[in-house]
Structure 1
Amino acid sequence: MEGVSVLIAALPAGYRRTLARTSKRSFARVGRLRSAHDYNAHMSNHAQDPAWQERFSGIDRLYGAGTYARLAQCRVAVVGMGGVGSWLVESLARSGVGHITLIDADDICVSNTNRQLPALAGQYGRAKVDAMAERCRAINPQIDVDPVASFLTASNIEALLDRGFDLVLDACDSFRSKVELIAWCRRRKLPIVVVGSAGGRTDSTLVRIRDLSRTEHDAMLALIRKKLRSEFNFPKNAGRYFSVPAVYSLENVRYPQADGTVCGVRPSAGPDAALKLDCGTGLGAATHITGAFAFVAAGKAIELLLKVRAKVEVGGDARSQDA
């Protein structure tokens, strides 16, 4: 074993980190952390360590003693590492969530700088999930973070998400992916929080969260609601809830015009242009809005995760959704 240690020490730092991550996964897979119970006990031990209690003691002083220990046992997936998703991951990591899977195939580009957390000099061109995973580990070296450089689709959703998560957070900007994700989670009674369109808004005080069946002023969420009702058997009765919390804004969208001005009139460039927030065209965005969407979603996520842990502790069904 001593010889192996010497060989490992001689490897470049990047290889050592990769080997450490691989070994950690194999360690859990072959049985030294054989069950969810063992995993929870493992994370709980870290939560009881005074050094880690100091790092996250503010969470316990806000939500009550033992909260960090509970969040350290939670498993969360975040889909989308953009203007909302990156800030959402930051908030979850700083709240002490024990496992976060990051799903996105995009790289960081210069035009992300106005709204995305990892868009910094020296980071352009990196995979967003890798940059955010590195940041999560800097916040909490004990976190179990899994960067997945892939876009979520109907064909890979099972492989990406059927992994024992307590909660899924949708921060992607693909209409079809959002629909598939919400429908998949509902079929499996897996709690999900959905984020609507943050682009084209300037007033962070108008950001709200309520059931997806009740959102307003969000064209994309309205289209998603229609698709879920027509193709995925969601309640067609307007009086019934979807039990899917959704973050949205009451503010009317500000559309960029061809002459460089901005107003509330939808441009005639095409039906999709007004709904997108991308690197070069479509709606503009600012961090105080994308961050506000993320932090509202993070607050709901913590609320739901603590409900999940409470039900697990009393032996109940951990997979119910509350809007």
Structure 2
Amino acid sequence: RLAGAHACVIGIGGVGSWVAEALARSGVGRLTLIDLDHVAESNINRQAHALEDTLGMAKVGAMAARIAGIDPHCRVTTIEDFLTPENAGALLQGYDLVIDAIDNVRAKVAIALTCTQRRIPLVMAGGAGGKRDPARIGADDLARTEQDPLLAKVRARLRKEHGFTRDPRKKFGIEAVFSNEPLRFPEVDACDAAHPGAASAPQGLACAGYGSSMAVTASVGLLCAARALEHLLREAEAPARGATPEPSA
């Protein structure tokens, strides 16, 4: 069942790289990976494809090479581009399921709209930065997420600009993976790269943003993959459940 499935992973970073690896290791037969970023030294703490010998490579290329070493039979298509509202319609077609692992609000809204219109199952990852406790990660409808500013902005735009329900009792029909842990801000002077001597720090290292923990980013990715696999298996089983049984001899 999974060998015949085609899943698309958008964003091959701290969350999406683990999604892609989990789907490949679980036997999904075809993957399309979308990202324009390249592997940087700051990615090594949390991204599956980030190694000393992949620095500078396109993330989709590094991930495809890693998957080839895991399952040579998995067909991987790489798209070196950022998904935007302008190209979402062209890029999001022909998939059995899409996993959104990016952190751009406009792009996430475009993904939600396109997948909803085309009836493509979607699993949307929330923000993983500023979180420490992977036990606080769960899945629910996008209309019901908590403590996730990224998903809250996506939800607000879908309601205000695109007519999604405002009724708290109703769902959007989009599964979201998120942590209900309150955001934690970095401690003052927590990173040497923030000091006056930061110019001497290795290229690609920075401490902007909330900071992230591999235990959390990978856990978000693995739960996204688990929910995606459940969707794919459910869809594969649906015709069998509705089929007319063969007459007995």
RMSD between aligned residues: 1.7
1:88 matches 2:19:
yes
Structure number with larger C-alpha Rg = 1
Establish whether residue 260 from structure 1 lines up as the match of residue 174 from structure 2.
no
Match of 1:109 among 40, 52, 55: 40
- Assess, with a 3 A threshold, how the Cα gap between structure 1 residues 315 and 103 changes in structure 2: closer, same or farther: farther
Alignment of 1:182-201 (within 5 A): 182-201=112-131
**1-structure distance, mates of 2:174, 2:155:** 11
Cα offsets for 1:198-252 (capped at 9, x unmatched): 0111111111111110110111111111100111111111111011110111111
CA contact (8 A) 1:112 1:279 kept: no
| Structure 1 ranges of 4+ moved more than 3 A | 312-316
TM superposition shift of 1:94: 0.1
Q: Secondary structure at the match of 1:254?
A: coil
| Contact in 2 for aligned 1:212/1:243 (Cα 8 Å) | yes
1:299 corresponds to: 226
1:78-108 Cα offsets, whole Å, 9 max, x none, are 0000000001100000000001000000000
1 CA distance for matches of 2:37 and 2:86? 18
User: Aligned pair 1:230/2:157, yes or no?
Assistant: no
In the alignment, is the contact (CA less than 8 A) between 1:203 and 1:251 conserved in 2?
yes
Q: TM-score, normalised by structure 1?
A: 0.69
Q: Using a 3 Å threshold, how does the CA distance of structure 1 residues 229 and 279 change in structure 2: closer, same or farther?
A: farther
Partner-residue secondary structure (3-state), 1:311? helix
d(CA) in 1 for partners of 2:37, 2:170: 36
**Cα distance in 1 for residues equivalent to 2:237 and 2:223:** 22
Question: TM-score, structure 2 length as denominator?
Answer: 0.88
* Aligned position for 2:199: none
Q: Conserved in 1, the CA contact under 8 Å of 2:131 and 2:212?
A: yes
Aligned to 2:197: none
- Aligned partners of 2:146 and 2:134: how far apart in 1? 15
What is the letter of the counterpart of residue 96 of structure 2? Answer: D
What residue is the counterpart of 1:150 in the other structure? Answer: 81
SS, match of residue 132 in structure 2 = coil
Q: CA deviation at 1:313?
A: 4.6
Q: Which runs of 5+ in 1 are unaligned?
A: 1-69, 263-277, 317-323
Amino acid at match of 1:212: L
Alignment of 1:115-194 (within 5 A): 115-162=46-93, 164-194=94-124
Any gaps of 5 or more consecutive residues in structure 2? 192-204, 244-249
Once the two structures are aligned, what percentage of the paired residues are identical?
42
The offset of 1:260, in angstroms, is 2.1
The corresponding residue for 1:241 is 171
The aligned residue for residue 7 of structure 2 is 76
